[in-house]
Structure 1
Amino acid sequence: MNFKKSLFSFLLFAGFAAAVMAQEKPSPAKTAEGTVGDAKITIKYSSPAVKGRVIWGDLVPLGQVWRAGANEATTFTTTKDLMVEGKMLPAGTYSFFIIPDEYQSTFIFNKVDKQWGAFNYDAAEDQLRVSVPSQQTSTMEERLKYEVKDGKFSIAWEYGKAEAKIAPAM
């Protein structure tokens, strides 16, 4: 009798644990980190999944400001002044937005660092805007992903990618 209760309890607990682990958040919080010279760069974002959807030009409209993730606007923090695509970005934390387009996208560093989505985005608060090539990739990235490495930071999702060159400020 005691064995049956123990077995039942174990199976119940195992089933509950499996159900909890199977429930992945729709857009989990992620962090990408790296260094450029003495500057530490931290990108905090929510990482949505493709889930069979068309992302670029459908879920994320081309030619419009996008929060570059899900939920709260993505943030980009640098501990030292940086050059992004040859333009100065002072040390600090910024909301990071993108205006995606087919051949070229605009990366936007906005001085208002705590924003929900892009609903209250104000271009007058932009610290820096840079244009970068939009790239089509042959590898599908199911979840939105940022990387900081090799003097660049990149965003990739579905079959699209864009990256900017970053260097220590002179």
Structure 2
Amino acid sequence: MKIKFLLALVTLTFSALAQDKKMPSPPDKATGNAGGVTVTVDYHQPSAKGRKVMGGLVPFGDVWRTGANATTAIEFSDNVKLEGNAVAKGKYGLYTIPGENEWTIIINKDIKWGAYDYKQANDVVRFTVKPGKTSSFVETFKITIENNKVVLRWENTEVAFAVAKG
């Protein structure tokens, strides 16, 4: 009986300790109004931690899940136009293909773990935008909804795309 009690106590202790472990790329959520539509983005925030991010940790020319740990999910409360491209109300995977002079923004039907199972055939829309520079170094990846745009910032890079009701 004492052994069973001791095993139960040890199991509970380790379970409690496991809960205290902090994720290296914690979850975050960006919610805001853009063009009369509520936009919600669920993602995980990786940090630079002294590493070269764009063109290094995040290679140019490869599909990126636009965050860490899981595919970034983007949800629209109504039909929208993203940089003029129609997208129906709903929840989608947000992928990107970073480039030094141009980024491809991908809205995809799949919301799975990572970009490993990404299938271009499930793209709802793809469009390109030009990256800009941040005013200061951004250590931790951040997505915001501001000025009718979804804005991605990390390291010294800022990428934004317009959202309008559609």
RMSD of equivalent CA atoms:
1.2
Q: Displacement, 1:82? A: 0.7
Residue equivalent to 2:134: 137
Please tell me whether residue 67 in structure 1 is matched to residue 89 in structure 2: no
SS of the residue aligned with 2:161? Answer: strand
Residue equivalent to 1:153: 150
Moved over 3 A (4+): none
Q: Displacement, 1:38? A: 3.9
- How high is the sequence identity, in percent, across the aligned residues? 35
Q: Displacement, 1:24? A: 4.3
Letter in 1 for 2:137: M
Residue equivalent to 2:103: 105
Q: Displacement, 1:37? A: 4.2
Pick from 148, 159, 162: which aligns with 1:162?
159
What's the TM-score, normalizing by structure 2? 0.85
Please tell me whether residue 121 in structure 1 is matched to residue 118 in structure 2: yes
Please, which runs of 5 or more residues in structure 2 have no aligned partner? 1-19
Counterpart-to-counterpart distance in 2, 1:31 and 1:120 = 23
Once the two structures are superposed, residues 49-76 of structure 1 have per-residue CA deviations (whole angstroms, 9 ceiling, x without a partner) of 1100000111111011000000110000
SS of the residue aligned with 1:33? Answer: strand
- Structure 1, 35-44 or 52-61: larger mean CA deviation: 35-44
What's the TM-score, normalizing by structure 1? 0.83
SS of the residue aligned with 1:124? Answer: helix
SS of the residue aligned with 2:116? Answer: coil
Tell me how many residue pairs correspond in the alignment: 147
Please tell me whether residue 47 in structure 1 is matched to residue 45 in structure 2: yes
Q: Structure 1 residues 150, 53: closer, same or farther in 2, change over 3 A?
A: same
Please, which runs of 5 or more residues in structure 1 have no aligned partner? 1-19
Q: Displacement, 1:130? A: 1.3
